Amino acid sequence: MSLEIAIDRVVGGAETPTAVVRLVGELDAANYLEVIDAGRRLYEDGTRRLVLDLSGLTFIASSGLVALHSLILIMAGEAPPDPENGWGAFHSLAHDVSGGPQMAVQLCGVGPAVDRVLARTGMGRLFLVHADRAAALAAG
Amino acid sequence: MRLAGVIAADRLAELLAPFARSPIAVRVESLDGQVVAVAGEPLPAEKSGTFSVLISGGRAGVVGRVVVTRRVGRLDPVSRAAAGSLAAAIGMLVDAGARSAHRATERVEREAEHRREHARTESELALSRRVQRSFMPLVAPEVPGWDLASFYEPAREIGGDFFDAFWIRGQRRSLALVIADVTGKGIAAALLMAFSRPLLRAAVDRLQAPATALERTNHILVEERRSALFITALLAVVDVRSGRLRVAAAGHEPPLVLRASSGRLEWLPVQGPLLGAFSALNVREREATLYHGDMLLCYTDGVTDARSPAGERFGERRLRAAVRAGRDSSAQDLVDRIVDSMQRFQAGTAAADDVTLLAVRRLPARSRAQRG
% of chain B residues with pLDDT over 70:
86
CATH code of the domain in which A16 resides: 3.30.750.24
Q: Is the pLDDT of residue A126 over 50?
A: yes
pLDDT bin (cut points 50, 70, 90) of residue B138 is low
Q: Do A122 and B273 touch (CB under 8 A)?
A: yes
What residues contact residue A59 under an 8 Å CB cut-off, 6+ apart?
Answer: A1, A25, A26, A27, A28, A113, A114, B305, B313
Residue of A68 and B8 predicted with greater confidence = A68
Q: What is the pTM of this model?
A: 0.70
Q: How far is A13 from chain B (nearest CA, A)?
A: 33
Taking the Cβ of residue B316 and every Cβ of chain A, the question of whether any pair is shorter than 8 Å is answered with no
One CATH from 1.10.10.10, 3.60.40.10, 3.90.226.30, 1.10.1040.10 for B136-371: 3.60.40.10
In this prediction, residue B149 carries a pLDDT of: 93
Using CB atoms within 10 A of its CB, is residue B337 exposed (0-12), middle (13-18) or buried (19+)? Answer: middle
Mutation for testing the B interface, residue in A102, A121, A126, A127 having most B CBs under 10 Å: A121
Domains in chain A, number: 1
- In this prediction, residue A90 carries a pLDDT of 43
The size of the A-B interface in CB pairs under 8 A is: 121
- For residue A100, what are the domain limits? 3-138
pLDDT attached to residue A93: 42
Is residue B183 less than 8 Å (CB to CB) from chain A?
Answer: yes
How much of chain B is helix, strand and coil, in % rounded to 5? 40, 25, 30
Calpha distance B321→B299 (Å, rounded): 15
A76-108 burial, b at 16+ Cβ within 10 Å, e below that, comes to: beeebbbbbeeeebbebebbebeeeebebbbbb
Picking from B181, B226, B307, the nearest residue to A94 by CB comes out as B226
- Closest residue by Cα to residue B204 from B230, B252, B242, B166: B166
Over chain B, what is the mean pLDDT? 84
Dihedral over Cα of B134, B136, B142, B148: its sign: negative
pLDDT in tens, B327-345: 889 999 999 999 999 999 9
Interface contact B186, partner A, CB < 8 A: yes
Q: What is the mean pLDDT of residues B157-182?
A: 87
- Distance, in Å, from the CA atom of B63 to the CA atom of B83, rounded to the nearest integer, reads 15
Give the chain A residue whose CA is nearest to the CA of B231.
A62
Give the per-residue pLDDT at A82: 61
Q: Where in chain B is the domain with CATH 3.60.40.10?
A: 136-371
| Candidate from A18-27, A124-133, B160-169, B188-197 with smallest mean pLDDT | B188-197
The residue that leads in pLDDT, B289 or B276, is: B289
Of B184, B226, B352, the CB nearest to A66: B184
Nearest to A64 by CA among B232, B267, B256: B232
User: pLDDT-derived band of residue B47, with 50, 70 and 90 as boundaries?
Assistant: low
- Dihedral Cα B289, B290, B292, B293, nearest 10 deg: 150
- Taking the Cβ of residue A4 and every Cβ of chain B, the question of whether any pair is shorter than 8 Å is answered with no
Distance CA A29, CA A31 (A): 6
Contacts of A69 in chain B (CB under 8 A): 228, 230, 277
Cβ pair B55, B65 in contact under 8 A: yes
